[in-house]
Chains A and B, each alone.
Chain A
Amino acid sequence: MLEIGFFYTAATVALVATVMAMTRANAIHALIYLIVSLLAVAVIFFLIGAPFAAALEIVIYAGAIMVLFVFVIMMLNLGEKGDKQERQWLQPSIWAGPAVLSAVLLIELVMVISQTSGPVSVTAVSAKEVGLALFGPYVLAVEIASMLLLAGLVGSFHLGRRYLERDNLEKQGGQ
């Protein structure tokens, strides 16, 4: 029973934080709410028996990817101007339509879930099992993901190198 309580608390926090993340005009405030939402999802993962996924959610999503988001926002340094623009985009006339449509989907989802029988049983999945699954049946997906990452790495290296070369050329031209 206690676990159900924990689950609903974490789920409520996740929902509220996500809604707040969408409606904030200030990008940094929105990001802080998004981080809270990710942490709440990590708690949910832990409760439904996936501690490894919970840890990765914190280490990778909350701890690394969102840091890069904050990093980018810091570099852009939007300030008050960005807030004003964001507030203009958050007019009811803009979000009312999509909100109604997603509300319809939400009602449908709740009805579908309420028809499935009972809560799903919790089986804890250890880090070892995740590793065995990744390098067993899903090894192809892991390899494809690593190729994608390598492509990203090579691409960003290429972009950075061209920038450096141009800098050097300009320096030589100046001399």
Chain B
Amino acid sequence: MSELMPVILALTILIGGVAGAAVLTWFERRLLGVWQDRYGPNRLGPFGIGQVAADMIKLLFKDDWVPPFADRLVFIFAPTAIVVAMMMGFAVVPFAPGMMIIDVNIGLLFFLGMTSLAVYSVLLGGLASNNKYALLGGLRSAAQMVSYEVFMGLSLIGVVMMSGSFSLVDIVEAQTDVWFCFSQILGLFVFIIAGIAESHRLPFDLPEAEHELTAGFHTEYGGMKFAMFMLGEYLGLMLISCMIVTLFFGGWHGPILIGDWLPPFFWFSSKVFVVICFFVLLRAAIPRPRYDQLMSLGWKVMLPITLINILVTGAVLLWMEGMA
């Protein structure tokens, strides 16, 4: 059983990830509707859940067209890169004790590596389209994602210092008593913002800002290849939510006062659900900044905050070591 566990889990993630992303498209639109005082898709089936099937049929049966002026090879390769990278990222997520595909001692770095590879999808998609809007979207995304990757990595250094390991299982176990969201509040703040920028979702979806760039890097994409981009984006949202729960909200542990009396996977998945709802709320509530505002926010606010966080965390840890 324990040997088969990773294989079963990998297949579950593969199918569950795709299905989850599909349901999430509907769920997000309904939730946005609630928060923006309108209905959202509510016609097909109970609560409008049939909209998922309708969207899938429409996307999958559309003519799979490659523009004649595009770089055919790269054009087809680009959407697959983001899905593969995000799916690979799930390999190190600890859903419950023993319930993970692989526990490597560089789990956190593996996650960062996979999210950094996802940049290519947007970049190459924009370039291969051979279209001005797509190219601008690709350029923006490259600058945005490369800069926010820096803060994303730096914001996690505090967590690594406190748990003393890059292994995600060790990090979750270090939070048995107190979650890192209290001591690493600055790290959490930066990680959430960098996470939105990495998965290029609203309010940081400048690579595909429709009011200025048509649809940005996926202007020329349609049908199944467009669906792949959307799948990658929602997988990225789920992956970032899983990582926020793992790194800052105690992973599979129950809340402090309530304790661990429900199954670990229940705690993990309900926390991930809450974080996803929070991301949807951000999308509903916050307007999109200008591109230069986004970049200067990164380098002038995020970078100093992460550096201060590392400095203070290190000082406190050394001080506590001296006290003990």
Co-assembled chains A and B: yes
In the bound complex, what is the Cα–Cα distance between A52 and B135 (angstroms)?
34
| Stretch from B53-61, B111-119, B177-185, B290-298 forming part of the interface with A | B111-119
In the bound complex, what is the Cα–Cα distance between A149 and B278 (angstroms)?
38
Residues of A within 8 A of B166 (CB): 127
| CB proximity to A under 8 Å, residues B203-259 | none
In the bound complex, what is the Cα–Cα distance between A64 and B150 (angstroms)?
9
User: Could you say which interface size class chain B belongs to?
Assistant: 20 to 34
The reply to whether B127 and A58 contact each other, CB–CB distance below 8 Å, is no
Residues of A within 8 A of B127 (CB): 28, 70, 73-74
In the bound complex, what is the Cα–Cα distance between A64 and B116 (angstroms)?
7
Residues of B within 8 A of A62 (CB): 113, 116-117
The reply to whether A58 and B113 contact each other, CB–CB distance below 8 Å, is yes
In the bound complex, what is the Cα–Cα distance between A73 and B104 (angstroms)?
35
Residues of B within 8 A of A75 (CB): 139
B12 contacts the other chain (CB 8 A)? no
Determine how close the nearest CB of chain A comes to the CB of B86; give it in whole angstroms: 14
A59 contacts the other chain (CB 8 A)? yes
A35 contacts the other chain (CB 8 A)? yes
The reply to whether A74 and B135 contact each other, CB–CB distance below 8 Å, is yes
Residues of A within 8 A of B126 (CB): 74
Q: Is chain A's interface secondary structure helix, strand, loop, or mixed overall?
A: helix
Determine how close the nearest CB of chain B comes to the CB of A56; give it in whole angstroms: 7
Residues of A within 8 A of B145 (CB): 67
In the bound complex, what is the Cα–Cα distance between A10 and B69 (angstroms)?
34
B146 contacts the other chain (CB 8 A)? yes
B5 contacts the other chain (CB 8 A)? no
| CB proximity to A under 8 Å, residues B84-129 | 104-106, 109-110, 112-114, 116-117, 119-120, 123-124, 126-128
Q: Which of A26, A51, A77 contacts B104 (CB 8 A)?
A: A51
Q: Which residue of B lies closest to A51 (CB)?
A: B106
The reply to whether A71 and B142 contact each other, CB–CB distance below 8 Å, is yes
In the bound complex, what is the Cα–Cα distance between A123 and B319 (angstroms)?
34
A63 contacts the other chain (CB 8 A)? yes
| CB proximity to B under 8 Å, residues A105-150 | 126-127
| CB proximity to A under 8 Å, residues B268-323 | none
Q: Which residue of A lies closest to B143 (CB)?
A: A71
The reply to whether B153 and A29 contact each other, CB–CB distance below 8 Å, is no
B138 contacts the other chain (CB 8 A)? yes
B73 contacts the other chain (CB 8 A)? yes
The reply to whether A28 and B119 contact each other, CB–CB distance below 8 Å, is no
The reply to whether B110 and A55 contact each other, CB–CB distance below 8 Å, is yes
The reply to whether A32 and B112 contact each other, CB–CB distance below 8 Å, is no
Q: Which residue of B lies closest to A35 (CB)?
A: B120
Residues of A within 8 A of B146 (CB): 64, 67-68, 71
19 contacts between A and B (CB under 8 A): A26-B71, A29-B73, A32-B74, A32-B77, A51-B106, A52-B106, A55-B106, A55-B112, A58-B113, A58-B114, A62-B113, A63-B117, A67-B123, A70-B127, A71-B142, A74-B138, A74-B139, A74-B142, A127-B105
Instruction: Give 14 new A-B contacts, CB below 8 A, not counting A54-B106, A74-B127.
Output: A26-B71, A29-B73, A51-B104, A55-B109, A58-B117, A59-B109, A59-B112, A63-B112, A63-B119, A64-B116, A67-B146, A70-B123, A74-B126, A127-B106
Which A positions have Cβ atoms within 8 angstroms of B?
26, 28-29, 32, 35, 51-52, 54-56, 58-59, 62-64, 67-68, 70-71, 73-75, 77, 126-127
